[in-house]
Amino acid sequence: MERWSSNIFSRQFITRYALVLLSLLLLFGTSQAAFSNQASNHADQKPVLKDGTSKWRIGYIETSKFANYAGTLYGIVKGLESSGWIKTTKGLPFTQGSNDSQAIWKWLSQNATSDYIEFNQDAFYSISGDQAKKDAIKARLAKQDLDLLIVMGTSAGKLVKNEKHSIPTLVFSSSNAKASGIVNEIEKSGISNVWAHMDPNRYKLQLRVFYDVFKFKKVGIVYEDSELGRIYSAIDDVKAVSKEKGFDVVEEHVIEPVDFAKDYEPYIQSLIQANTRLTKKVDAMYLPLGLWDSPDLPRIIKPFLDAKIPLFSQLGVEEVKMGVLISLARPDFTGIGTFGATKISDVFHAKLPGDLSQVYGDTPSIAINLAAAKKIGYKAPFDILISSDEIYTELVPVSGN
């Protein structure tokens, strides 16, 4: 009953539309309706044998022991299971937060898990700054007896990329594979046998959200002032967002351990000292990836909790659980694992790594620690609580206290 008429001779609507028509005819020429019909383009993921007879031989190289590496490897294995390359992963030794990739590899090599892929125990390498291991990797690459390499971390990625070999190489868990020179471009690597996972916006997104919630003026960050250190800590992204949002970045530098047995504790102490110094200079803190063991995190972040400074974890839920206030990061390794398994499958179907797309944005989840919030006097608003996927209400006590 919205439109009525009162005068049959007027046909006011006709008049109105006639006028509209005249105007439109004058204003517009022609226009075409556009129809989008997005078509998905999935590669054939059916498992195949190498040359129809033998299994594919995979090697694994990681920078060091790290929860992200073990998690990503676990995710990839689960992805390969979903697509039929691996029969079963029942009994695979992995729990969330574990950094023991070797245990996963060992299990894979000892159990007849696949009719298509061979996981040799001698094809597992964890560098951990050990030159001998680096040499062993170089020698292995020269032999060209592997069909695909799964490489974890920037340091390992650079090592493998710089060696002369033609083994298809897939690099994961590198903070910025382009900045570190592992690949030439973001979308596709530009190097025929190398591929690296890229998620160019994840750290920028973290910083933007952190700023939008706390509106800080100065954010602190502690990292090793080296090429790798800058990449791990995503310092370029931090600075880019600081320009965009108008806050200052206050830096403190530490030296990361090379010989863990000797350098580790001094590294932790230098971190704590740097953090303590920062508490007097900043009103928020961005905690980048570091080489600390999880149980040491509470004492590393204690200065910020005492100084009531909000702390954001680059890593994610694992550190929030330990007492970091908030994070926005991938909740598990399912997404990246499936993505990585698809790329392995593509390579086994004769695609060059350099031709494969590299960009995948991990699905971020929100994690918050309310005990940390209470400690620093932050009243987390209700809307952030109902948006959070993980909420922790306790602080892990500082070891030794």
Partner 1 sequence: MNRIKISLIASFTVLVLVVLGFTGTLNILSFKKQFTESLVNGYEVVAGESVRKIEYSVKYGKPINNFYGIEALLQQNMQFSEDITNIQIIATNGDLIYNKDGRVEGKSIDAEYRDQIKFTDRTVAIQTKHIQTGGEHQVYLPIFDGNGKWIATYNLSFADAAIQKSFDFYANKILLMLAICGAAALILLIIFNVTMNLVTSEGEVLKVRLLTLIIGILSITQLTFSIYNYQLFKDAYQALSNQTVTIASSTMKYNIDALIKKGVPYDQMFEIDKYFANTAKSIPLIDRIQLVPKGKTSDDAQSKISIELPKDKTGASFSLEVRIDDEVIAKQLRNTVFDGVTVLIISFLFLVEITMFLLMLLRGFVVRAAGVILRRLNRNELFNGEMIRPLTFAFAFAIFMPLSFIPIVMKGKVTAFLGLSEEVLLALPITVEILFAFVATMIAGALIDQYGWRKGFLFGAFAFACGSALSGLADSSYELYLAGRMIVGLGYGFGLLSLRAYVQQTYETERQSGGFSSMFSGLYAGVNGGVIVGALLADRLGYSFVFLLASGIILLSILIALIYTNPTSIEQMRKLDVGQKGVSIWKGFLLNPGVAGFFLFLLIPISVASMFLDYYFPLYAKNHGVSSGDVGRVFLLHGLIVVYLGPILLRLTERWFSNKVSVILSGVIVIAGLLIFAGINTVEAAILAVVFLGVSDSFGLVAQNNYLLRLPQTSQIGSTRALGYFDNFRKFGQMVSPMIFGGLAFMGGYGVGIIGMIFVVLILCFTVIVIRNKEKSLKESA
- Interface contacts to partner 1, rule CB under 8 A: 1-21, 24-25, 28-33, 35-40, 205-206, 208-209, 212-213, 328, 331, 361-366, 370, 373-374, 379-389, 391, 393
The set of residues, in sequence order, having a beta carbon less than 8 Å from that of 223 and lying 6+ positions away, is: 229, 230, 232, 233, 235, 251, 253, 254, 288
Nearer to partner 1, 55 or 208 (CB): 208
Angle between helix 67-82 and helix 101-110 axes, rounded to 10 deg: 30
Nearer to partner 1, 16 or 281 (CB): 16
Report the nearest approach of partner 1 to the CB of residue 374 (Å).
7
- Rounded Cα gap, residues 398 and 95, in angstroms: 23
Q: Which of 371, 378, 270, 259 is nearest to 322 (CA)?
A: 371
The set of residues, in sequence order, having a beta carbon less than 8 Å from that of 316 and lying 6+ positions away, is: 327, 328, 329, 330, 331, 365, 367
Report the nearest approach of partner 1 to the CB of residue 25 (Å).
6
**Cβ distance 219 to 286 under 8 Å?**
yes
Nearer to partner 1, 43 or 385 (CB): 385
Nearer to partner 1, 71 or 153 (CB): 71
- Rounded Cα gap, residues 174 and 178, in angstroms: 9
Nearer to partner 1, 164 or 379 (CB): 379
**Cβ distance 146 to 123 under 8 Å?**
yes
Report the nearest approach of partner 1 to the CB of residue 303 (Å).
24
Report the nearest approach of partner 1 to the CB of residue 334 (Å).
10
- Rounded Cα gap, residues 134 and 157, in angstroms: 12
Nearer to partner 1, 37 or 401 (CB): 37
Alpha carbon 125 to its chain's center = 21
CA angle 262, 266, 272 (to 5 degrees): 155
Report the nearest approach of partner 1 to the CB of residue 305 (Å).
17
* Coil vs helix vs strand at 196: strand
CA angle 391, 394, 398 (to 5 degrees): 130
Report the nearest approach of partner 1 to the CB of residue 378 (Å).
9
Report the nearest approach of partner 1 to the CB of residue 201 (Å).
9
Nearer to partner 1, 30 or 131 (CB): 30
Report the nearest approach of partner 1 to the CB of residue 11 (Å).
6
Nearer to partner 1, 29 or 246 (CB): 29
